[in-house]
Amino acid sequence: MEGVAETVALGVAAEQFAEIIEGGPLGSAWAIAKLRKIRAGKESETEFPLKWATKDAHLALDANGARLPALKAIAAAWDQAVESGLGDHDVSAAYLGLKRSRA
């Protein structure tokens, strides 16, 4: 999710990115669905809450933190998003957290 969120936060249009990756190894149905959710502004329509994804990231870090530096950075970004009120939104709201942190 973080890769999708960061790509869109950098300015690549969500629908354009979905079209680029669709049919390729990065174009999973899940990633395409999250990109379309971002494009439609439906991050508050929860399929899997960001707070649960953040909890899972911290569980993985508790078990293997020293070997997962990228996940440590992702968990920190998601913690900020949850603290800003996005925890009950869909995990795709990680994109909104990035937008807020850039503002």
Identify which of 28, 32, 30 has the alpha carbon closest to the alpha carbon of residue 47.
30
pTM: 0.89
Q: Confirm or reject CATH 1.10.1040.10 for domain 2-102, answering yes or no.
A: yes
Cα dihedral angle (85, 35, 21, 54), rounded to 10 degrees?
30
Per-residue pLDDT tens listing for the chain (103 residues): 999 999 999 999 999 999 999 999 989 999 999 999 999 999 999 999 999 999 999 999 999 877 899 999 999 999 999 999 999 999 999 999 999 887 6
Domain limits, the chain: 2-102
Q: What is the pLDDT of residue 102?
A: 77
